[in-house]
Amino acid sequence: MEARRCLSILTAMLILSLLVFACGREEPPAYMDEAEQARLFSMKPAADAPSQAAADAQSQQPATDSPLLAYLDNVEIQYETDRQRSNLAAALKDVLELSPEELQQKRYADYQGKPGQWTLQQLFDRHLVPDGQGKTTGRDFYNDLKQPAVQERIKALYASLVPSKHAPADQPTPPQQ
């Protein structure tokens, strides 16, 4: 009977420590889908919520402090098929052309090509791998996408995925017949 009681106490302590750990995290792990993130991170203590002044100060930070800009710095593009490459290229083009509100509503094909499965943020998490651990796309992902420095990085990523219409200078042009 005593062993059961000890086991119950240890289990309760483990669950409590996991909850404390989860509530103290700033950003959810990139591998979690939105439902898992909402379930795990929805119960933050009120003391952890930033004041309006702190939120205003964060929104006025220079673009170099953007988690998304840091995430995109030296990011590695990963895809296995032309369909995945095209899907990512279309998403990057959308970032350059659509508003944050429109981007939030868009859904993209998953890695199997099934349309309408992933948000833009999920697509980034799965195809754009940052150069260091701990980098995230940030809490204000959709608004951060419109920062000028982020837009420049997105243009460069898009250009690397879309073949140029002109042959590179170091390759000969095929003869015309």
Looking at residue 171, what is its pLDDT?
A: 45
Looking at residue 35, what is its pLDDT?
A: 60
For residues 93 and 174, the answer to whether their CB atoms sit within 8 Å is: no
Looking at residue 66, what is its pLDDT?
A: 87
Cβ contacts of residue 138 below 8 Å, gap of 6+? 27, 66, 67, 68, 71, 144
Task: Measure the CA–CA gap between 56 and 30, rounded to whole angstroms.
Answer: 25
Looking at residue 85, what is its pLDDT?
A: 94
**Digitized pLDDT (tens) for each residue of the chain, 177 residues in all:** 677 776 777 676 667 565 555 555 455 555 555 665 555 555 444 444 444 444 444 444 444 578 999 999 999 999 999 999 999 999 999 999 999 999 999 999 998 999 999 999 999 999 999 998 889 998 999 999 999 999 999 999 999 998 766 544 444 444 444
Looking at residue 166, what is its pLDDT?
A: 53
